[in-house]
C-alpha cells in the first residue's frame, strides 16, 4: 500500500502511481510512490510525526511541504539534517527522526519543555560560566544535547562538479510570473535560463487554487509549460536552486550534484512568496500546517491530508483552501477569519453554500494535541478583541488538520543580497522591494503582486525592461496594478502559557523576542544574535516577519524602521562538495615519466611537477640513495632535469638585458660559454639561480629553478616593460626537456651517441656550451658541475625527450649507467656545498649570507636589487649559511630543526635552522647546511641543534665543499 | 651556433600523452591528440611582414584564426605573434621551410610552440557544453564563432582555444602546456563522459 489517503488522478503531479517504492522510517517499512518525498509518503501512511524540535524536543511534522522549515529534518544512514519534504524517496532508503533520546515517539527529553521557564532567551549567555570552572562540568552535558543528527565519518565522497551557463536572461522561479517573463524574453530573441527548485514547472499553479471553480491554474499551467518547453531559446533547470546572487548576476545554481555558475546579462527574480504562520499556543503540533502545505499534499502528491480540517486565515486564500479541501472529501466545519470581513463576497458565498461556517474576527488561540502528542486533535477558537488580544473564553472544535494563512512574505533573499531594500507598510501590511541594481528585476508575488493576471503582467513587464537593457526590441505590456491585500497585520496571539512559536527552528516563543528587547536589544540584528531567531536552518523564512513585528511593537517603531535580518547566501544549505566541485589538480610530467614508472621510481611532487625521488621502494630509501650516489661518483648516472626552468632572451639588447637582471657580469660572456647566474630581488634577497648560456651575440638561453622560473619570467617581462630594451623574452620551460649525465664515464656515454660534437676537454671544456645532434635530434649541451663530477646537461625539444632518454640509456648500458633521483641529486649537491635556492635560502638570504659574493659583480653600474645588496651586505651580519658535520652514529638533524645560541641554556636565542641534511657514505658522516649565528661560523667550532624530542646534538662547522675541495673531478680530462 | 630547425626529425617526435592509462572517451565528443603535428610560431614586429612575404595569409586582428590551403590554420595571438598549425599533419615541408626562412630575419623571433604546447582537435555538437564544465569563457556554438581565438584557462591551466571549420564541420583546436597533457586529456575525457 502506498498510503490509505491517496486521491484520484489528475491530482498527484509529482507522483507516478504505478511505481511503488519501499523505504524504512524508524525501522518500519513504508511504501510510497515514485516521486513522493519522505514526508508525503509518511503522511500518506498517516505518519505525521517526523522529528523532534531542537530545544524542547517537541514532536514536529511538516509545516510547509516545501522544504522551507526545519520541522522535517531527518537522518539518513549517511547524511543528517535532510529535509523530509524535499528528499524524494528511493528504494531501501533508511530514514530516522532526529534529536530524540529513546525513541521518536517516546523521547525522554520531551520533559525539557516543562523546564522552559529556566531556559529563557539568551540563558546560555548568562549561565555556565560562573563560578569559575563550572563550565567544565556543563560542557559534556551541553555537547551531548547540542547539534542535530549524526555525521557519517565513514562517508565516501561522491562525484560533484560545476559548469558555467551563459544566458541573456536568467529567470529565477518558474511560476506564472517567471514563465511569462521567460516566454516574452525568449520570443524577443533573448537566450533564457529558467530555474525552479521544484521538479515541474508552474510554481503556485501546481498547487494553489486561483478561482472558485478551481480550473484556471490547471489550464494556465498546461499552456505556459508547453510553450516554455517547446521554446528553443529557453533552457529549463528544474529541481534546481539559485543559492545566491553575486555581483553582475553571477548566480550559483545547484542541481543534483552539480553547481552551475550562471552568468546572466539580465536577471529576473520571480521567486514567489513564503506563506506566513499565525502565532498561537501549540502552533507547532503535527497537523498544524500552512494552507499551501495542505494544497501541495492534495495537488502534488494526491494525498487527502485530513478527515476534518479547520482553516485559519487572514486573507481570501484561506477560502480557496477550504474549497479545495472540501472538493477532496475533507470535512471543513469552519473557516476562522481573523479579519472583520472577506474581500471577495463570492468566495464567502461559495463556502457557505457548501455548509462551511465562517467566523470573522476570530482566531485559533490554542491547538490541542492528541493524548499521544503525535497529531492535532482540536483547536480552541477565541474572538479577537484587539491587536493580539482575544476574548477570555472560546469554543473547542475537534479537527485533525489546521491550515494557516496569515499572509505572504516575498522570497526576498536573492534581491536583498543584491542590495535591494525591503520595506513594509504598517497600515496595509504590504511589502515592497526597491533599490534594485541595474540588470536585476523582480516580478510576481515576490514583487507584492498576487492576482493571477497581474502576476503574469508583472513577469512580462520585467522581461520588457530586461529586453530594452539588452538592446532588443520589445513591446511594452499594458500596465496593471494589484490592490489585493493578503497580509493580516497582526497574526500574533501571545498565550499566557507560552509555546506560541515565532521560530520553530529554535523553539523561540513570542515572549522570547519581547524579552530580548527588554534586555536592551532593540536592533533586530542584535535580537537575532541574542535570541538566535532566524539563525536556524529555515533562516527566518517564517520568523523574520513576526520578529520584526514584535520588535517594532516593543520598541514603538514601525516594521520598516525595525527592518528584517540580513539574508546572506546560501539560500538553502549547500554541501562543501558543491563548492569544491570536481577537483582540478593540474600536474606536470616530463616526457620521460613513463620510463621512470617502468624503472620503479618513487615519484614525489616538485611544485606542480612529478619527479623521481629515487628508483626503488621507499622502505629502501636510504640504501638506494647511497647506491645511486656511489654510482655517480665512481662511474656514471643520469637524471631527468626537465623540470628546470628555461628562458630565452633574444634580440640586439639581449646581453644588456641579462646583465641588468642577474648579479654577475654578462656583457662580455663569450658565445659558447655558460655562466652562473644569481637573481636578487629589489630587497637584495637571492630569489633564484641558474646557468646562462650564450648561444649567439644576441641570444641567451638561461636556466632557472623548477619552482622559480615562472616568477623569474614575470620579473623579466615586468622590468622590460619599463626598460623597453629590444629583446624577446620567452619561457621555454616546457619546450625543452633535459637530462644530466654525470660521473667519470659521462664523456664515454656522450661520445657514443653524439658524433658531431668533439667532447675532448680541449674542444669542450668545463663551462662550455655546444650544440649538436643525437641521431637527428637537435640538442643543446652544457658542461656544468651539476653534482661535482664530469657532467653534461643535455637539453632537447620536449617531443624528443623520451627518445633521447632511451638512446642515452642504451649507450650507457655498457658502463652500467642507471638513472638517479632528485633526492640523490640533493645529496650529491650537498657534498659539493652547492646551495639550492629556496631550500638553503629563505626570504631574507642575501648573497653575503650565502657566500655568493663571488657571483656578484660590484663594478657594473646596475643589476636588479644592486642597491639593496649593497646596503644589506654593508650592515653588520647576523647569520651565515655554513656546512656542518656530525658523526654517522649521531642523531641526524632534519631540515627545519633549529640552531641554538647555547647548548645548556633552555631559554637561549634561536640563531638559525638546518636547511639541508643527509647521511653521506662518501664522507662517512651526517652532513648538512644550516644558518648559524655570525659568531658560530668559525670552521672547526661546534654549534647546538635541537632535534626531535628535544635532544641537543653538537654539529661541527666544516669548510665547504665536503668533497673534492679542489674541484678536480668536474674538470676531469 | 644558435639556429637549428625545430621542425627537424618529425618522425622522432612522440606525444607525452599515454593513452594506455587514460580511459577512452565513450562520448559524442571526439578528441584527437595532434601534439606531434607540425607547427611553428613567430613573434616580433617583423612577423606579419615575414608571413605576408611568404604568402601566408594572416587574420586582420589579434585573437582570430583562419584556415588556408588544406589543413593549415594560422592563429594571430597578438598584434605581433602568429602560430601556424597543420591540422592534418600533411604540411610538414611547408612549415619546415617557413621556419628555415625565418633564420636571420630582423625583428622576427621563432617560437617553440611545437614543443611547448600540446594540441587537441575536438569535435562534436556538445563541445561547447563540455567546455562550460572546465572553462569560464562561453564557447557555445551560438557565441564562439569560427575564427575566434580565446586565451583562457581550461581545467585550471592556461590554454589557447580556437574554432575552425572544414568540410562544413566545425572543430576546436586547443593548445595547452605540453607537460600537463596527460592531466588535461583526462580532465577533458572526464568532462566529456556524460555526452553519450
Q: Closest chain A residue to B106 measured between Cα atoms?
A: A651
By residue count, chain B amounts to 196
> What integer pLDDT is reported at residue A132 of this predicted model?
85
pLDDT in tens, A887-898: 999 999 999 999
**Minimum distance, in Å, between the CA of residue A583 and any CA atom of chain B:** 9
**Minimum distance, in Å, between the CA of residue B27 and any CA atom of chain A:** 18
* Cβ neighbours of A161 in B, within 8 Å: 133, 191
**pLDDT, mean of residues B58-64:** 98
Q: Is the pLDDT of residue A348 over 70?
A: yes
Is residue B11 domain-resident? Answer: no
Say which of B117, B129, B133 has its CB closest to residue A161.
B133
Say which of B8, B16, B132 has its CB closest to residue A164.
B132
> What integer pLDDT is reported at residue A268 of this predicted model?
98
Q: Closest chain B residue to A774 measured between Cα atoms?
A: B9
Q: Is the pLDDT of residue A620 over 60?
A: yes
- Alpha carbon distance B163, A819 (integer Å): 43
pLDDT in tens, A720-730: 999 999 999 99
Closest residue by Cα to residue A749 from A776, A774, A779: A774
DSSP-assigned letter for residue A6: B
Is residue B13 domain-resident? Answer: no
Q: Is the pLDDT of residue B150 over 70?
A: yes
* Cβ neighbours of A671 in B, within 8 Å: 1
Whether residue A588 and residue B18 make contact (CB cut-off 8 A), yes or no, is no
Closest residue by Cα to residue A401 from A341, A327, A321: A321
**Minimum distance, in Å, between the CA of residue B65 and any CA atom of chain A:** 22
Say which of A642, A672, A734 has its CB closest to residue B116.
A734
Residue B23: pLDDT band (50, 70, 90) is very low
Rounding to the nearest 10 degrees, give the CA dihedral for residues B23, B26, B28, B33. 30
**Minimum distance, in Å, between the CA of residue B69 and any CA atom of chain A:** 26
CA angle A936, A941, A946 (to 5 degrees): 65
Put simply, the chain B residues between 31 and 50 with a CB less than 8 A from any chain A CB are 35-36, 43-44
**Minimum distance, in Å, between the CA of residue A590 and any CA atom of chain B:** 6
**pLDDT, mean of residues B30-49:** 96
Tell me, what CATH number does B45's domain have?
3.30.1360.120
Closest residue by Cα to residue A338 from A312, A366, A318: A312
* Cβ neighbours of B132 in A, within 8 Å: 163-166
Put simply, the chain B residues between 109 and 168 with a CB less than 8 A from any chain A CB are 109, 111-117, 129, 132-136, 138, 140, 142-143, 155-157
Q: What is the ipTM of this complex?
A: 0.96
Q: Is the pLDDT of residue B24 over 70?
A: no
Is residue B7 domain-resident? Answer: no
> What integer pLDDT is reported at residue A786 of this predicted model?
82
Q: Is the pLDDT of residue A346 over 70?
A: yes
**pLDDT, mean of residues A201-220:** 96
Whether residue A777 and residue B14 make contact (CB cut-off 8 A), yes or no, is no
- CB of B18 within 8 Å of a chain A CB? The answer is yes
* Cβ neighbours of B157 in A, within 8 Å: 586
pLDDT in tens, A893-947: 999 999 999 988 878 899 999 999 999 999 999 999 999 999 999 999 999 999 9
**pLDDT, mean of residues A569-576:** 92
| The model's pTM | 0.91
**Minimum distance, in Å, between the CA of residue B81 and any CA atom of chain A:** 11
Q: Is the pLDDT of residue A118 over 90?
A: no
> What integer pLDDT is reported at residue A119 of this predicted model?
80
- Helix (H), strand (E) counts: chain B: 5, 10
Q: How many CB atoms lie within 10 A of CB A686?
A: 28
Q: Is the pLDDT of residue A499 over 90?
A: yes
Whether residue A166 and residue B143 make contact (CB cut-off 8 A), yes or no, is yes
pLDDT in tens, A80-102: 999 999 999 999 899 999 989 99
**pLDDT, mean of residues B36-63:** 97
pLDDT in tens, B124-144: 999 999 999 999 999 999 999
Say which of B1, B114, B115 has its CB closest to residue A696.
B1
Say which of B1, B116, B187 has its CB closest to residue A671.
B1
Is residue B1 domain-resident? Answer: no
Strands A28-34 and A16-25: antiparallel
pLDDT in tens, A658-678: 999 999 999 999 999 999 999
pLDDT in tens, A729-769: 999 999 999 999 999 999 999 999 999 999 999 999 999 99
Whether residue B132 and residue A166 make contact (CB cut-off 8 A), yes or no, is yes
> What integer pLDDT is reported at residue A226 of this predicted model?
98
Strands B64-68 and A952-958: unpaired
Probe site for chain B from A594, A728, A799 (most B CB atoms < 10 A): A799
Say which of A593, A730, A776 has its CB closest to residue B12.
A776
Say which of B13, B112, B183 has its CB closest to residue A732.
B112
A319 contacts: CB under 8 Å, gap ≥ 6: A311, A313, A335, A342, A344, A347, A348, A350, A351
Whether residue B115 and residue A797 make contact (CB cut-off 8 A), yes or no, is yes
Whether residue B115 and residue A736 make contact (CB cut-off 8 A), yes or no, is yes
> What integer pLDDT is reported at residue B141 of this predicted model?
92
- CB of B178 within 8 Å of a chain A CB? The answer is yes
Question: H or E element: which one contains A310?
Answer: strand A308-313
| Long-range contact pairs involving A812-815 (C-beta distance under 8 Å, separation at least 24) | A812/A636, A812/A638, A812/A741, A812/A749, A815/A635, A815/A636, A815/A745, A815/A748, A815/A749
> What integer pLDDT is reported at residue A1 of this predicted model?
53
Probe site for chain A from B10, B11, B12 (most A CB atoms < 10 A): B12
* Cβ neighbours of B89 in A, within 8 Å: none
Is residue B178 domain-resident? Answer: yes
* Cβ neighbours of A764 in B, within 8 Å: none
DSSP-assigned letter for residue B142: T
Is residue B2 domain-resident? Answer: no
Residue B26: pLDDT band (50, 70, 90) is low
Q: Is the pLDDT of residue B3 over 80?
A: no
Number of domains making up chain B: 1
Is residue B5 domain-resident? Answer: no
**pLDDT, mean of residues A379-401:** 97
Say which of A734, A736, A800 has its CB closest to residue B13.
A800
Closest residue by Cα to residue A293 from A51, A571, A39, A2: A39
Least confident of A72-81, A223-232, A805-814, B148-157: A72-81
Whether residue A800 and residue B138 make contact (CB cut-off 8 A), yes or no, is no
Q: Is the pLDDT of residue A147 over 80?
A: no
Is residue B44 domain-resident? Answer: yes
* Cβ neighbours of A191 in B, within 8 Å: 142
Whether residue A588 and residue B177 make contact (CB cut-off 8 A), yes or no, is yes
Whether residue A799 and residue B4 make contact (CB cut-off 8 A), yes or no, is no
> What integer pLDDT is reported at residue A883 of this predicted model?
97
Whether residue A164 and residue B136 make contact (CB cut-off 8 A), yes or no, is yes
**Minimum distance, in Å, between the CA of residue A162 and any CA atom of chain B:** 6
**Minimum distance, in Å, between the CA of residue B105 and any CA atom of chain A:** 11
Q: Closest chain B residue to A589 measured between Cα atoms?
A: B179
* Cβ neighbours of B6 in A, within 8 Å: 778, 797
**Minimum distance, in Å, between the CA of residue B103 and any CA atom of chain A:** 13
**Minimum distance, in Å, between the CA of residue A251 and any CA atom of chain B:** 13
Chain A, chain B: beta-carbon pairs less than 8 Å apart? 131
Higher-scoring residue by pLDDT: A677, B24: A677
- Residue A788 backbone class (left: φ over 0; alpha: ψ -120 to 50; beta: rest): left
Residue A531: pLDDT band (50, 70, 90) is very high
Range of the domain at B114: 19-192
* Cβ neighbours of A657 in B, within 8 Å: none
> What integer pLDDT is reported at residue A972 of this predicted model?
76
Q: Is the pLDDT of residue B1 over 50?
A: no
Amino acid at each position: 500500500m502506498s498510503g490509505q489517503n491517496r486521491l484520484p488522478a489528475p491530482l498527484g503531479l509529482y507522483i507516478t502511481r504505478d511505481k511503488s517504492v519501499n523505504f524504512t522510517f524508524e525501522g518500519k517499512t513504508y511504501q510510497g510512490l515514485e516521486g513522493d518525498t519522505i514526508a508525503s509518503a509518511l503522511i500518506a501512511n498517516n505518519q505525521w510525526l517526523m522529528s523532534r524540535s531542537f530545544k524542547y524536543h517537541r514532536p514536529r511534522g511538516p509545516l510547509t511541504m516545501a522544504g522551507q522549515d526545519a520541522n522535517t529534518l531527518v537522518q539518513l544512514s549517511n547524511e543528517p539534517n535532510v529535509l523530509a519534504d524535499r528528499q524524494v524517496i528511493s528504494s531501501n532508503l533508511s530514514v530516522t527522526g532526529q534529536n530524540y533520546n529513546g525513541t521518536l515517539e517516546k523521547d525522554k527529553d520531551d520533559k525539557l519543555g516543562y523546564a522552559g521557564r529556566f531556559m529563557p532567551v539568551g540563558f546560555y549567555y548568562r549561565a555556565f560560566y560562573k563560578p569559575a570552572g563550572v563550565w567544565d562540568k556543563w560542557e559534556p552535558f551541553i555537547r551531548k544535547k547540542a547539534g542535530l543528527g549524526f555525521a557519517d565519518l565513514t562517508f565516501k565522497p561522491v562525484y560533484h562538479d560545476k559548469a558555467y551557463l551563459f544566458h541573456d536572461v536568467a529567470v529565477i522561479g518558474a511560476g506564472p510570473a517567471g514563465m511569462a517573463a521567460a516566454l516574452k524574453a525568449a520570443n524577443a530573441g533573448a537566450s533564457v535560463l529558467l530555474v525552479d527548485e521544484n521538479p515541474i514547472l508552474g510554481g503556485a499553479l501546481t498547487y494553489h487554487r486561483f478561482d472558485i471553480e478551481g480550473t484556471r491554474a490547471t489550464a494556465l499551467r498546461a499552456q505556459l509549460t508547453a510553450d516554455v518547453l517547446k521554446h528553443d531559446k529557453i533552457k529549463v533547470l528544474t529541481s534546481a536552486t539559485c543559492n545566491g546572487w553575486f555581483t553582475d548576476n553571477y548566480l550559483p545554481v545547484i542541481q543534483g550534484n552539480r553547481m552551475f555558475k550562471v552568468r546572466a546579462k539580465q536577471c529576473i527574480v520571480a521567486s514567489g512568496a513564503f506563506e506566513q504562520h499565525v502565532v498561537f499556543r501549540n502552533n507547532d503540533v503535527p497537523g498544524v500546517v500552512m494552507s499551501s502545505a495542505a494544497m501541495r499534499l492534495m495537488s502534488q502528491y494526491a494525498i487527502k491530508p485530513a478527515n476534518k480540517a479547520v482553516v485559519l486565515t487572514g486573507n481570501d486564500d484561506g477560502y480557496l483552501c477550504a474549497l479545495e479541501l472540501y472538493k477532496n472529501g475533507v470535512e471543513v466545519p469552519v473557516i476562522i477569519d481573523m479579519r472583520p470581513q472577506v474581500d471577495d463576497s463570492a468566495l464567502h458565498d461559495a463556502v457557505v453554500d457548501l455548509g462551511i461556517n465562517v467566523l470573522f474576527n476570530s482566531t485559533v488561540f490554542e491547538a490541542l494535541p492528541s493524548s499521544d502528542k503525535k497529531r492535532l486533535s482540536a483547536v480552541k477558537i477565541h474572538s479577537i478583541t484587539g491587536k493580539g488580544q482575544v476574548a477570555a473564553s472560546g469554543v473547542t472544535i475537534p479537527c485533525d488538520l489546521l491550515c494557516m494563512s496569515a499572509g505572504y512574505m516575498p522570497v526576498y533573499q536573492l534581491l536583498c543580497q543584491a542590495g535591494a531594500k525591503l520595506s513594509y507598510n504598517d497600515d496595509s501590511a504590504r511589502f515592497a522591494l526597491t533599490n534594485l541594481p541595474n540588470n536585476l528585476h523582480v516580478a510576481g508575488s515576490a514583487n507584492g503582486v498576487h492576482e493571477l493576471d497581474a502576476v503574469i503582467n508583472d513577469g512580462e513587464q520585467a522581461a520588457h525592461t530586461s529586453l530594452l537593457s539588452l538592446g532588443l526590441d520589445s513591446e511594452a505590456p499594458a500596465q496593471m496594478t494589484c490592490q489585493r491585500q493578503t497580509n493580516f497585520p497582526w497574526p500574533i496571539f501571545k498565550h499566557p502559557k507560552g509555546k506560541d512559536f515565532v521560530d520553530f527552528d529554535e523553539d523561540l516563543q513570542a515572549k522570547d523576542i519581547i524579552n530580548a528587547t527588554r534586555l536592551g536589544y532593540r536592533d533586530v540584528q542584535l535580537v537575532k544574535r541574542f535570541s538566535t531567531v532566524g539563525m536556524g536552518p529555515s533562516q527566518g523564512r517564517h520568523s523574520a516577519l513576526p520578529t520584526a513585528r514584535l520588535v517594532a511593537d516593543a520598541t514603538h517603531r514601525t516594521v520598516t524602521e525595525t527592518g528584517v535580518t540580513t539574508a546572506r547566501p546560501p539560500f538553502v544549505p549547500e554541501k562543501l562538495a558543491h563548492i569544491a566541485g570536481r577537483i582540478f589538480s593540474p600536474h606536470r610530467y616530463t616526457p620521460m615519466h613513463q620510463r621512470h614508472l617502468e624503472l620503479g621510481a618513487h615519484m614525489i611532487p616538485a611544485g606542480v611537477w612529478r619527479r623521481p625521488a629515487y628508483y626503488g621502494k621507499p622502505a629502501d630509501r636510504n640504501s638506494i640513495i647511497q647506491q645511486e650516489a656511489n654510482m655517480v661518483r665512481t662511474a656514471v648516472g643520469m637524471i631527468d632535469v626537465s623540470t628546470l626552468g628555461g628562458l630565452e632572451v633574444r634580440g640586439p639588447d639581449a646581453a644588456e638585458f641579462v646583465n641588468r637582471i642577474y648579479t654577475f657580469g654578462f656583457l662580455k660572456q663569450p658565445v659558447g660559454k655558460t655562466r652562473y647566474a644569481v637573481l636578487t630581488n629589489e630587497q637584495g634577497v637571492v630569489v633564484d639561480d641558474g646557468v646562462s648560456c650564450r648561444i649567439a651575440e644576441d641570444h641567451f638561453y638561461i636556466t632557472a629553478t623548477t619552482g622559480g622560473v615562472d616568477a623569474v619570467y614575470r620579473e623579466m617581462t615586468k622590468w622590460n616593460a619599463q626598460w623597453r630594451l629590444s629583446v624577446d623574452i620567452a619561457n621555454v620551460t616546457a619546450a625543452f626537456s633535459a637530462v644530466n649525465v654525470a660521473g667519470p664515464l659521462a664523456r664515454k656515454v656522450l661520445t657514443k651517441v653524439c658524433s658531431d660534437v668533439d667532447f675532448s676537454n680541449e674542444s669542450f671544456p668545463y663551462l662550455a656550451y655546444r650544440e649538436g645532434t643525437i641521431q637527428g635530434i637537435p640538442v643543446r649541451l652544457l658542461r656544468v658541475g651539476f653534482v661535482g663530477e664530469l657532467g653534461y646537461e643535455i637539453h632537447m625539444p620536449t617531443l624528443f625527450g623520451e627518445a633521447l632518454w632511451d638512446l642515452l640509456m642504451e649507450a650507457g648500458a655498457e658502463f652500467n649507467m642507471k638513472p638517479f633521483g632528485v633526492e640523490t641529486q640533493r645529496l650529491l649537491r650537498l657534498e659539493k656545498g652547492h646551495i639550492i635556492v629556496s631550500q638553503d635560502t629563505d626570504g631574507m638570504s642575501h648573497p653575503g649570507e650565502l657566500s655568493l659574493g663571488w657571483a656578484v659583480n660590484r663594478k657594473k653600474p646596475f643589476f636588479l636589487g644592486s642597491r639593496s645588496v649593497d646596503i644589506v651586505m654593508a650592515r653588520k651580519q647576523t647569520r651565515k649559511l655554513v656546512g656542518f658535520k656530525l658523526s654517522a652514529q649521531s642523531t641526524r638533524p632534519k631540515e627545519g630543526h633549529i640552531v641554538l645560541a647555547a647548548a645548556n641554556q633552555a631559554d637561549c636565542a634561536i640563531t638559525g635552522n638546518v636547511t639541508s641534511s643527509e647521511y653521506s657514505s662518501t664522507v662517512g658522516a651526517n652532513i648538512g647546511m644550516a644558518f648559524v649565528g655570525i659568531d658560530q661560523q668559525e670552521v672547526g667550532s661546534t654549534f647546538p641543534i635541537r632535534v626531535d624530542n628535544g635532544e641537543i646534538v653538537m654539529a661541527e662547522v666544516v669548510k665547504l665543499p665536503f668533497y673534492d675541495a679542489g674541484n678536480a673531478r668536474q674538470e676531469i680530462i | 651556433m644558435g639556429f637549428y630547425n625545430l621542425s627537424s626529425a618529425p618522425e622522432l617526435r612522440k606525444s607525452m600523452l599515454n593513452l594506455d592509462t587514460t580511459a577512452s572517451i565513450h562520448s559524442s565528443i571526439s578528441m584527437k591528440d595532434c601534439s606531434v603535428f607540425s607547427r611553428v610560431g613567430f613573434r616580433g614586429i617583423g612577423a606579419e611582414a615575414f608571413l605576408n612575404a611568404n604568402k601566408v595569409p594572416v587574420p586582420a586582428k589579434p585573437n582570430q584564426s583562419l584556415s588556408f590551403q588544406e589543413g593549415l590554420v594560422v592563429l594571430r595571438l597578438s598584434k605581433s605573434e602568429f602560430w601556424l598549425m597543420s591540422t592534418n599533419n600533411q604540411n610538414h615541408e611547408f612549415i619546415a621551410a617557413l621556419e628555415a626562412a625565418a633564420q636571420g630575419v630582423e625583428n622576427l623571433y621563432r617560437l617553440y610552440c611545437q614543443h611547448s604546447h600540446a594540441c587537441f582537435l575536438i569535435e562534436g555538437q556538445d563541445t561547447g557544453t563540455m567546455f562550460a564544465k572546465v572553462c569560464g569563457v562561453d564557447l557555445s556554438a551560438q557565441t564562439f564563432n569560427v575564427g575566434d581565438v580565446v586565451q583562457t584557462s581550461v581545467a585550471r591551466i592556461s590554454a589557447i582555444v580556437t574554432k575552425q571549420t572544414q568540410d562544413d564541420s566545425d572543430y576546436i583546436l586547443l593548445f595547452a602546456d605540453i607537460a600537463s597533457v596527460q592531466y588535461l586529456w583526462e580532465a577533458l575525457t572526464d568532462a566529456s563522459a556524460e555526452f553519450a
